[in-house]
Structure 1
Amino acid sequence: MEFQISLAQLREAHERIKPFIHRTPIMTSQSLNAIAGCELYFKCENLQKIGAFKARGGLNAVLSIPEEKRATGVVTHSSGNHAQAVAMAAKTCGIPAYIVMPNNASSVKKSAVAGYGAQITYTEPTQAAREAAADKIMVETGATYISPYNDYKVIEGQGTSALEFLEDQPDLEMLVIPVGGGGLLAGTALSAHYLKPEIKIFGGEPEGAMDAYYSMQKGELVPNKITNTIADGLLVSLGDKTFAIIQKLVSEILVVSDKEIADAMRLIWERMKIVVEPSGAVPFAALLKNKEKFAGKKVGIILSGGNVDVSKLPF
């Protein structure tokens, strides 16, 4: 199978961003193993810079822009974690960042983006409004657009989390990954494909934004028409670049309700004593709902982020 991203490119991305990221820890919990009926390994990207894996893709994309093009800055649209990633990467490179955010983004994510010195434009919380605002800024400033997920440099960066995971825990038999735009799932699937092709990859997705599930069923992109879920990092639809990889390498998309997400999130908080946002709890929720698929296996889960507004916890 031929893909646009090679193992060499994934390794180059890792070298490129390594000075600016944490090699996040892998944590385990005997009590969660007992509840789940399998051996769980959690890759804690909630402890990454900016509190989410998206630091990886944002940095790789910005650092890959040629020096002569960087000066005009970068523009993106995001509900939060990718916005922070691009803002942090731009600050690292000393260039302007123009970030389009939906006006209903969580306050913790809004203030974090502002804290990196980015110029924020707020829009209605629709994909069309976000994209239109980003296009306008690009025309006015000459800034380089960085897609939140549908960009090979972003996918490469996100795939570095699984590179580390499989280097540190090579005996994993399955991986469960959250899916929104698909950057993390696609990048993870590629890293696993190259390093351990027999590993099974599952995506976890909220019922309120289940375009990946329908797209896999139909064999073509089926975008979300409306979204309604507490997993605010997973509201966007798959892109053509991410879907092409996911369709070939991912075994199944497992769908969960908001209640199942909140219950899984609470378990992680209570048993592991770490902060994880709803989107980050989706894979664990998917595993708990489908225990028979994972019984007795060594299962890796990427806890994708920990940027949660603690005044609005769902439990």
Structure 2
Amino acid sequence: MTERTPYRARVHAPGEVLEVLPYDFESPELISGTDRDRLDAALEAWGRQLGLQITAKTRAVVDVSTAPSRVQSFGAFIASADGPVLWATARLGGGRVVYRIPLAEARYWSARMLGASGDQAGVDRPLTAVERGLARAAATEHLAELRPATNDLMPEPVLEAFGTEPPSSVDRDAQAVVVVAGTIRRGERRQLALAIDVDVVLERLGAVSPRQDANEVTTRISGHLALAPVEIALRFAPTRVGPDTVLDLAPGDLIPLAHPADRPLVITLDGNPVLRAAVGGNGDRLACVVVESTGGPS
């Protein structure tokens, strides 16, 4: 049996300033460093190609700028949709990619491709069969640019579904996706968005590690939590006194404590009692000697 190295907590000096960075569990840091730079550069190239393609199809100059990618759940990606949208779902290697298009933008593309001005401000209606067909064809072409624009970083997508409802085949809570938003700059700004299965991205980046056992993941998380800085305090049993006693206190007065002299003090962790200890010393500093465990906070 392999012995595990025990986690050792670091003791911080009194008054030491700790720099603690918050961790966003809604957007875990699965991709970082050069892999993140490589991915964002590839998706930025796809955004530029998208702008050129929309410009050629609609005969209206369009510039698509992409924001840095982020990892989030598929459910969060769906919830971030602003207004009516179209969803194009495609098979991408061993996973899926979902392309989100504002309905108003799809209507604009269709109108321009049919020779109209595309100016339909305030129009709120479903797409006609012709508009839907043109929008589907445009989404297929946009997704097809993923592979060449990213220099084969992403595999060739194969469109599976297109409509006004997000795909039900993707687990909204468990599936993590890499999301990149592209802003169309042409008068009124609208935002396209792309969500790619994170497993596909990690595999293409060569950053895939063997799948960890659930117990191993739990052990590792517990280890990280054990290293997180926390505040501990040594506490006497509480003593109740009246307001008159407090108001009459003067230098040199004694307050009898309800804590018996032979009873250990309580060590608290962020206010929760976890251990019992006796007062001790460590060089020129006060310390405590743990004498009994309370079993941890409930």
Q: TM-score range by the shorter chain?
A: under 0.3
**Larger relative contact order (CA 8 Å, sep ≥ 6):** 1
TM-score normalised per structure 1: 0.24
TM value normalised by structure 2: 0.25
- Greater CA radius of gyration, 1 or 2? 2
More strand, by proportion: 2
- In proportion to residue count, which structure has more helix? 1
